[in-house]
């Protein structure tokens, strides 16, 4: 009897898996939730520079090759783990709170003096999905303070209004945990499985997938290997197939 029931249920389970796996082909998504730094804003490189600044200042015993190797490692670590590694590496005493403060001040100073730009083709992409009535939001590892400074430099609220969600909205729980993505989906009233996430980092992709979202990895950092866990990878926003993702031909 058990064998008979399994034979009845197994095809249904396989069908459900296949349907989920082929979402990008025939599923009508309802929202896109964007990462911010490196995905829609050309700011990820500034955070890399801030890490370099900390290491050259507080870990002078490292040569440039060692510094670059550590920077590469940091890119794939959760932020909290990365800060602990930086602190452990520094030969000059510095607390984690000091690391956070110095990095943030460095980045905000660069923003103020050099400005911030959108990633190429983001504006056109957002306009195209807005015409379809697709809901959008931002889910970022940045603090609210950083976002407040950013919106003084670029018109981020013109695209997302109040739907810009930071780690301050989720009790400082960073990606790769899914909390900020789940919060963003809840705030726009869309089931996470009906959302697409667009990410440029490994930890961001892990967070989106843990939230149950279909994830597009955008290769702004020119390292496709870091994006391998994404459901699909594109080089830029202009490569994203909106018709396929939103099943436009089959809409009523």
Q: Residue 250's pLDDT is what?
A: 53
Helices (H) and strands (E) in the chain, counts: 12, 6
For the ranges 2-6, 123-127, 189-193, 201-205, which has the lowest average pLDDT? 2-6
Please answer whether residues 231 and 25 qualify as being in contact, where contact means their C-beta atoms are separated by less than 8 angstroms.
no
Containing 196, the helix (H) or strand (E) segment is strand 195-199
More confident residue, 250 or 92: 92
Beta bridge partners of residue 137, listed in sequence order? 33
Please answer whether residues 181 and 197 qualify as being in contact, where contact means their C-beta atoms are separated by less than 8 angstroms.
yes
pLDDT tens per residue, range 151-167: 999 999 999 999 999 99
What value does the mean pLDDT take over residues 128-148? 95
Please answer whether residues 160 and 134 qualify as being in contact, where contact means their C-beta atoms are separated by less than 8 angstroms.
no
CA-CA distance, 45 to 85, in Å (whole number)?
20
Longest dimension (CA), the chain: 73
- The whole-model pTM stands at 0.81
Q: Residue 57's pLDDT is what?
A: 93
Using the predicted structure, report yes or no on whether residue 107 has a pLDDT greater than 80. yes
Q: In the structure, what pLDDT confidence band is assigned to residue 244 with cuts at 50, 70 and 90?
A: confident
CA-CA distance, 196 to 23, in Å (whole number)?
10
Reduced to 3 states, what is the DSSP secondary structure of residue 186?
helix
CA-CA distance, 86 to 77, in Å (whole number)?
11
Tokens found for residue 58: 């507080």
Eight-state DSSP code of residue 24: H
Domains of the chain: 28-41+118-250 (3.40.50.1000), 44-114 (no CATH)
Which residues neighbour 3 within 8 Å (Cβ) at sequence distance 6 or greater? Answer: none
Eight-state DSSP code of residue 136: E
């Amino acid at each position: 009897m058990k064998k008979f029931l399994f034979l009845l249920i197994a095809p249904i389970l396989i069908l459900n898996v296949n349907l989920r796996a082929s979402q990008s082909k025939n599923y009508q998504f309802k929202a896109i939730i964007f990462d911010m730094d490196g995905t829609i804003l050309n700011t990820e490189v500034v955070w890399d520079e801030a890490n370099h600044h900390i290491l050259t200042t507080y870990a002078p015993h490292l040569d440039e090759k060692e510094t670059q190797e550590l920077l590469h490692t940091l890119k794939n670590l959760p932020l909290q783990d990365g800060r602990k590694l930086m602190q452990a590496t520094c030969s000059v005493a510095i607390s984690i709170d000091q690391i956070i403060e110095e990095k943030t001040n460095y980045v905000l100073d660069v923003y103020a003096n050099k400005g911030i730009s959108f990633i190429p083709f983001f504006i056109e992409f957002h306009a195209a999905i807005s015409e379809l009535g697709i809901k959008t939001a931002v889910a970022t590892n940045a603090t609210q303070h950083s976002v407040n400074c950013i919106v003084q430099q670029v018109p981020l609220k013109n695209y997302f209004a109040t739907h810009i969600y930071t780690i301050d909205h989720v009790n400082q729980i960073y990606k790769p945990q899914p909390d900020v993505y789940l919060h963003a989906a809840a705030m726009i009233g869309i089931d996470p499985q009906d959302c697409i996430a667009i990410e440029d980092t490994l930890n961001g992709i892990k967070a989106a997938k843990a939230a149950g979202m279909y994830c597009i990895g955008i290769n702004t950092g020119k390292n496709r290997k870091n994006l391998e866990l994404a459901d699909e990878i594109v080089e830029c926003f202009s490569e994203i197939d909106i018709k396929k993702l939103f099943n436009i031909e089959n809409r009523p």
